[in-house]
Amino acid sequence: MNGITIENLNVWFGDYEDRVDAVKGASFSVPKGGSFGLVGESGSGKSTILRAIMGLFDTWSGKIEVLGETLTHKRDREFYRKVQMVFQDPYASLHPRQSVDQVLSETLSLHGFKDIDARISKLLEDVGLGPAFRFRYPHQLSGGQRQRVAIARALAPEPEILLLDEPTSALDVSVQAEILNLLSDLRAERKLTYLMVSHDLAVVGHLCHDIAVMQLGKIVEVLSIEDMRALQTREDYTRTLLQASMGYELRG
């Protein structure tokens, strides 16, 4: 069974002359327990694909299948236990008047967990935040600390699928290494499925088996990480993107 199957997905916003076709005919699949990366140009529709899976808007057509179930435009609570997302913009995704403790306990009780107190401590420890952060509010946290709260919240309901939108872009590379190791461990232990967006090809290469390269709302190419490393591409855009990233990576 696949974790995620996307077939001919179209997403648009606005109507008539204001209409934006953010995603055009995207297709790819992620096996259950697999890890798939979306990379490509800024504004090419990567976040939009994740948000469509989460059911954050209705203006899409095509097929989205998650854990064998074809999704309609409605999502129930069970869906949000199984599928969680870490948003690109952690500030916007955390409520300004909710403390870290409130955010996590609300999510945990919503999904019927009982040992909330112990779970919060464990979640904070997992993302490298000490107990001192538990009663802080978002504005009392640094950018990377907020991002880690967002990751802890997504892990809280023990989801089977994680949609990760630039999960480590606000973290220093040592914390990034800890989070990436945590994500690898969780995937090995619980057979989690990851769909991750990142512009950092080294990060994608570390965590993912396959990637889709996007430009202007379309998937231009799907390729394996081995092919990515070896610059084995079919499309010019992919090659340009990879070369720019690697050349620039090796420059230092």
Partner 1 sequence: MTKLLDVENLWVKFPTRNGIFDAVRGVSFTLGQERLGIVGESGSGKSMTGRAILRLIRKPGIVTADKMELDGQDLLAMSEKEMRKVRGQRISMIMQDPKFSLNPVMRVGQQIAEAYMLHTNTSKAQAKQKALEMLDAVAIRDPERVYNMFPHEVSGGMGQRIMIAMMLIPDPEIMIADEPTSALDVSVQIQVLEIMDKLVRERGMGLIFISHDLNLVSSFCDRVLIMYAGRVVETLQADKLHDAKHPYTRGLLNSLPRIDNPVERLEVLERDPAWRDEASISGAI
In the list partner 1, ligand ATP, Mg ion, none, the entry touching 178 (Cβ below 5 to 8 angstroms by class) is: partner 1
User: For residues 160 and 165, which CB has a smaller minimum distance to ligand ATP in the complex?
Assistant: 165
d(CA 207, CA 216) in angstroms, rounded, equals 25
Q: How far is the CB of 105 from ligand ATP (least distance, A)?
A: 20
Could you list the beta-strand ranges (E) of the chain: 2-13, 20-31, 35-40, 60-66, 69-70, 83-86, 161-165, 193-197, 210-215, 218-224
Of the chain, the end-to-end C-alpha distance in Å amounts to: 42
Contact status: 43 vs Mg ion (CB under 5 A): no
Neighbours of 8 (CB within 10 A): 11
Q: How far is the CB of 183 from ligand ATP (least distance, A)?
A: 19
Could you give phi then psi for residue 37, rounded to 5 degrees?
A: -110, 140
Site string for ligand ATP, 87-126 (x = CB under 6 A): -x--------------------------------------
Q: How far is the CB of 57 from partner 1 (least distance, A)?
A: 11
Contact status: 141 vs ligand ATP (CB under 6 A): yes
Q: Which residue from 131, 143, 190, 191 is in contact with Mg ion, where contact means CB under 5 A?
A: 143
Do the Cβ atoms of 64 and 52 come closer than 8 Å?
yes
Q: Which residue from 5, 35, 47, 93 is in contact with Mg ion, where contact means CB under 5 A?
A: 47
Contact status: 142 vs ligand ATP (CB under 6 A): yes
d(CA 54, CA 207) in angstroms, rounded, equals 22
Reported as half-sphere exposure (CB side, CA atoms, 13 A), residue 161 has a value of 22
Binding site for partner 1 (CB under 8 A): 13, 20, 39-43, 47, 88-89, 91-92, 132, 135, 139-145, 148, 165-166, 169-178, 180-181, 184, 199, 201-203, 205-206, 228-229, 240-241, 244-246, 248-252
Neighbours of 76 (CB within 10 A): 8
**DSSP class of 97:** T
Binding region for Mg ion (CB under 5 A):
47, 88, 142-143
Binding region for ligand ATP (CB under 6 A):
13-14, 20, 22, 42-48, 88, 140-145
